[in-house]
Structures are given as structure tokens and as C-alpha cells.
């Protein structure tokens, strides 16, 4: 296990911005992770956990502590019955590679989360989801290093505080736990309609009536390829903003002037509004703001076209948030974490 110094964070995050990390290392076992944390504690060094870097933004002043890149492997079937298969996954596994393997095994539960960049360990942190599925739907439990007790612990689904793009890992317990494995229980049933609106529309337009795991995965990959730029070619973090969650009175107010606004009932009098729709109808589609381009195919996405600093990105973000707030009285939020 090597410790590297003065590492440019822009080389490890898909927005390609930010200063340097004082130290950086990779861990491939739980024991290595524990050792790094103990050493960091003795030297009073802050720690930041980094997976694939696709949902993280680095600030210009960098990070004065140690960045730990999680590379713990693992793909193990731990239970199997007539209706389901339970799989334990290492936190360092590439998420989409895992989705592909489960689709090849004809298992349902995460197929619509195809082509999402990042690692398995990052998925529960923001309760990753797409096209009607999210990790909370299939995750039974996870193991994590508890930096407060210096122990490996197991947390059940109910202990993770999952909600829309949120969990305890980016909420009340942010910085406490480092996820080392995730256990998913997946169904042996075929995917079945009705699917999420955008996915259903894609299938209907092509006359698709037989819904296999591979058909759904292929459809999602095609939709994402059309709407989301490849971060290897155009620096971005995928969806930069969370979709807005509003109260019923806000929806009624919004509909009074925008009767065609798409909305999805979330229960408890709350509704999800596509933030991309809000940004587009606020007149920002395709605009260049402080070097950041609002993607013309998906306004949730900001592309780093010519920004040279985190400051540029922050200025663009704040202008977009302000324009949506001034236009619709709705406060939208950034999705990526910051280091």
C-alpha cells in the first residue's frame, strides 16, 4: 500500500477541476482501510473517501489530509432460492460492471441503473437511482468501517436513512462510516411494465413488447448515451442538480402558469419536479455561464467547457439556482459532494 503526495484532484474527478490532495492512497482490504485511518488519526489528518470521482467536486484549495480511494473487490452469491438471489459486493467494484453481471444472470432490481458511473460503495451514499429504481429498493445491508468506534460494523437497510438521493452517509453521519461491502437481494422475475415514463416512451416508440433484463439495460444505456455526455470526452458529473421535491401547494402554484409541468407523486403530499425542466424553462438551456455549459439535451448536466477553477463552477451553479428560484420560487440543490 503506497502513499502518494501532492496529487492533483482534477485527475481523479470527472469535472476535472480542483487543487491537490496532500496525500492519496488506495486500499483493497478492510484491514488496509483500518490501518490508514489509524495512522491518519495519530497525525491529526482529515480523511476523504473517493470512489470513481464521478459525483465529487474538488475545491481550488485542495485537501490538506489523505484521500483514500476504495478498491475493495468482491462479487459473491451468498443466498439463492426460487425467487431471488442475494449477492455481496465489494465497495470498490465498478457499478456498471456489477449491473451487467446481474443482467447476465437474469436478475432484476438494478437493471435500470445501467451506465451510472462510480463504484458500489458510492451507491448507498446518495441512494443512487434511475428510471424508477434506486439502491434502497434492493439493498439488504452493508458493512462499513465505523471511524468513531474503530470497528467494522453491519448496517441494515432500515438503519441507513434512505430517501430521495440521500442517506445518513451524506446526512447526520457524514464522515463517520466508510462502506466496504454492499449486499443486494435481486429478483428472478422478468422486468414488467409500466416502466418509468422516459423508459416506457423509448420502448413504446420502438414497439418493444418483450421485456427481458437485457432489453431494459440496452434501452437505458441508449437513453443515457443520448442525454448524458461521456465524462471522458466532456468533463461533467452527470446530473449536477437533484430533482426538486415540492409540496402540493407549490405544485398547484406552479401549474397555474405551467399546466404542462411534469410531476411525480412521492407520497405524503410531496411531488418530484424534473429540475432539468425548471432550468430549461427558466431560459438557461445550452447557455455558457462562467465556462460551464448547461447541456442542451439534459439541463441537469453542467459541462466544463472552459472553466479553470472551482470558483467558476460555483459561480455558474449559484446563478442557475438563483434564476430558478427567482422564476419559480423553488430552491434546487447540487447533487455532487465536495472535497
Q: What is the mean pLDDT of the chain?
A: 95
pLDDT category of residue 1 using cuts at 50, 70 and 90: confident
257 within 8 A of 278, measured Cβ to Cβ: no
pLDDT of residue 7: 96
pLDDT of residue 161: 96
pLDDT of residue 267: 86
Residues 6+ apart with CB under 8 A from 177: 144, 145, 146, 147, 153, 155, 168, 169
Place of cell 486500499: 27
pLDDT of residue 133: 95
Q: From its phi and psi, is residue 268 left (phi > 0), alpha (psi between -120 and 50) or beta?
A: left
pLDDT of residue 180: 98
Residues 6+ apart with CB under 8 A from 248: 269, 270, 271
In this model, does residue 206 exceed pLDDT 90? yes
Exposed/middle/buried for 267, CB within 10 Å: 0-12, 13-18, 19+? exposed
pLDDT of residue 130: 92
pLDDT of residue 98: 98
List helix spans (H) across the chain.
Answer: 30-42, 95-104, 197-205, 213-227, 248-257, 275-279, 310-328
pLDDT of residue 285: 97
Separation between Cα atoms, residue 221 and residue 128, nearest integer Å? 16
Q: At what angle do helices 213-227 and 197-205 cross, to 10 degrees?
A: 100
In this model, does residue 168 exceed pLDDT 80? yes
pLDDT of residue 93: 97
pLDDT category of residue 52 using cuts at 50, 70 and 90: confident
> Largest alpha-carbon pair distance within the chain?
62
pLDDT of residue 159: 97
Task: Pick 117 or 86 by higher pLDDT.
Answer: 86
Q: Which residues are catalytic, by number?
A: 165, 239, 335
289 within 8 A of 276, measured Cβ to Cβ: no
In this model, does residue 237 exceed pLDDT 80? yes
Q: Which pTM was predicted?
A: 0.88
77 within 8 A of 185, measured Cβ to Cβ: no
In this model, does residue 282 exceed pLDDT 90? yes
pLDDT of residue 294: 97
Amino acid at each position: 500500500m503506497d502513499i502518494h503526495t501532492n496529487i492533483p484532484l482534477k485527475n481523479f474527478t470527472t469535472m476535472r477541476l480542483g487543487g491537490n490532495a496532500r496525500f492519496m492512497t488506495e486500499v483493497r482490504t478492510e484491514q488496509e482501510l483500518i490501518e490508514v485511518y489509524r495512522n491518519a488519526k495519530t497525525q491529526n489528518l482529515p480523511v476523504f473517501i473517493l470512489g470513481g470521482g464521478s459525483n465529487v467536486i474538488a475545491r481550488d484549495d485542495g485537501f490538506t489530509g489523505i484521500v483514500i480511494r476504495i478498491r475493495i473487490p468482491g462479487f459473491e452469491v451468498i443466498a439463492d432460492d426460487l425467487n431471488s438471489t442475494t449477492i455481496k459486493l465489494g465497495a470498490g467494484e465498478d457499478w456498471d460492471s456489477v449491473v451487467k453481471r446481474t443482467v447476465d444472470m437474469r436478475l432484476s432490481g438494478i437493471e435500470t441503473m445501467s451506465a451510472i458511473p462510480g463504484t458500489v460503495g458510492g451507491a448507498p451514499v446518495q441512494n443512487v437511482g434511475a428510471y424508477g429504481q434506486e439502491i434502497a429498493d434492493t439493498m439488504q445491508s452493508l458493512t462499513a468501517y465505523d471511524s468513531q468506534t474503530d470497528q467494522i460494523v453491519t448496517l441494515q437497510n432500515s438503519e441507513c436513512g434512505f430517501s430521495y438521493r440521500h442517506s445518513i452517509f451524506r446526512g447526520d453521519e457524514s464522515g463517520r462510516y466508510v462502506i466496504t461491502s454492499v449486499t443486494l437481494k435481486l429478483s428472478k422475475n422478468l422486468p414488467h411494465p409500466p416502466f418509468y415514463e422516459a423508459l416506457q416512451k423509448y420502448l413504446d416508440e420502438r414497439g418493444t413488447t418483450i421485456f427481458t433484463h437485457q432489453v431494459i439495460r440496452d434501452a437505458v444505456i441508449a437513453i443515457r448515451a443520448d442525454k448524458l455526455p461521456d465524462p471522458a470526452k466532456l468533463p461533467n458529473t452527470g446530473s449536477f442538480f437533484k430533482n426538486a421535491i415540492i409540496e402540493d401547494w407549490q405544485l398547484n402554484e406552479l401549474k397555474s402558469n405551467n399546466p404542462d409541468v411534469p410531476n411525480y407523486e412521492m407520497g405524503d403530499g410531496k411531488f418530484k419536479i424534473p429540475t432539468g425542466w425548471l432550468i430549461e424553462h427558466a431560459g438557461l438551456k445550452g447557455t455558457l455561464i462562467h465556462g460551464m455549459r448547461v447541456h442542451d439535451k439534459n439541463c441537469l448536466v453542467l459541462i466544463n467547457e472552459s472553466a479553470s477553477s472551482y470558483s467558476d463552477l460555483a459561480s455558474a451553479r449559484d446563478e442557475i439556482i438563483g434564476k430558478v428560484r427567482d422564476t419559480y420560487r423553488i430552491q434546487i440543490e447540487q447533487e455532487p459532494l465536495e472535497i
